[in-house]
Amino acid sequence: MALRSALLNVMAAAARKAARSLVRDFGEVEQLQVSRKGPADFVSAADLRAEKVLREELHRARPDWGLRLEESGVLRGRDDQPVWVVDPLDGTTNFLHGLPHFAISIGVESAGEPIAGVIYDPIKDELFAAEKGQGAYLHDRRLRVSARSKLSEALIATGLPHLGRGDCERTLRELAALMPEVAGVRRYGAAALDLAYVAAGRYEGFWEWDLSSWDICAGIVIVREAGGMVGSLAGGEDAAASGHILAANDKLFAPLGDLLRRTQRQAAARPG
């Protein structure tokens, strides 16, 4: 990748190494040993193997840094150092059903702010990367968010509630308000890739409630460095902390956010 820093090189190398076992396991998905973490929230042997590789590679490269991992939790580093924020398999349900749409997401957070990110899709061999102030890239190609300025031309992505998780009524209200205004809505089941696709101009926007930091840390940096905007669905900018994320190109961030927040105000104003 053009102008790749030492930090992004470490992240990309770790992602590619962890991806080897994921690709092998994906080819044998029916034979994977799978256990349940909770309703519709699976963890696979492949997920754990990939996380182990990432933990070892990232700790070896920056031994003083902490790690926040989806499966293993928090491993403390020095208080004055950044933290790795890692999802070894974003799109686990896709993976376990043989759908070739999942990714490894590695973010870096410093003083609560996302400052670097790599998202790697091993099936399509697409590596999205960005570091604060250095631009965003897909391999060697500089990324830029879409230039579309009308909601009627916009393709928007989201996540949907499923068994045991999410607010179905809220999501149905938002979809009912949004669908008549946009060119299309997509739900592909991997939030990290949704954010990478906003950065690449494939979507004009993405929103979802109740995500975890490992889902979005890397994607936040990549969208911003591609010229996009990221904020919280509840208002303000701290989507990384809240997990309630809205990301869009610079022209549609405000109208998309206004439309979604209007549904919240209308629901709150209804009697009962």
Instruction: Residue 42: give its domain's CATH number.
Output: 3.30.540.10
Evaluate whether residue 251 is within a structural domain: yes
Nearest Cα neighbor of 65 from 77, 56, 74, 80 is 77
pLDDT value of residue 43: 59
42 pLDDT more than 60: no
- If asked whether residues 11 and 135 sit together in one domain, one would say yes
Q: Does the pLDDT of residue 96 top 70, yes or no?
A: yes
Average pLDDT over residues 180-201: 97
State the residue range of the domain holding 137.
6-142
pLDDT of residue 109 exceeding 70, the answer is yes
Per the structure, the count of domains in the chain is 2
Supply the CATH number for residue 188's domain.
3.40.190.80
Average pLDDT over residues 40-64: 86
Establish if 28 belongs to a structural domain: yes
In the chain, what percentage of residues exceed pLDDT 90?
A: 73
Does 183 share its domain with 122? no
Mean pLDDT of 34-40: 52
Q: Could you tell me if residue 91 is inside a domain?
A: yes
Entry pTM = 0.92
Asked if 57 and 63 count as a contact pair (C-beta separation under 8 A), the reply is no
**Average pLDDT for 193-222:** 97
Q: With a cut of 80, say whether residue 126 has pLDDT above it.
A: yes
Over range 219-245, report the average pLDDT: 91
C-alpha pair distances (Å), 36 with each of 33, 49, 68, 93, 226: 10, 16, 21, 11, 37
Give the pLDDT of residue 241: 85
Q: Are residues 162 and 264 in the same domain?
A: yes
| 216 found inside a domain | yes
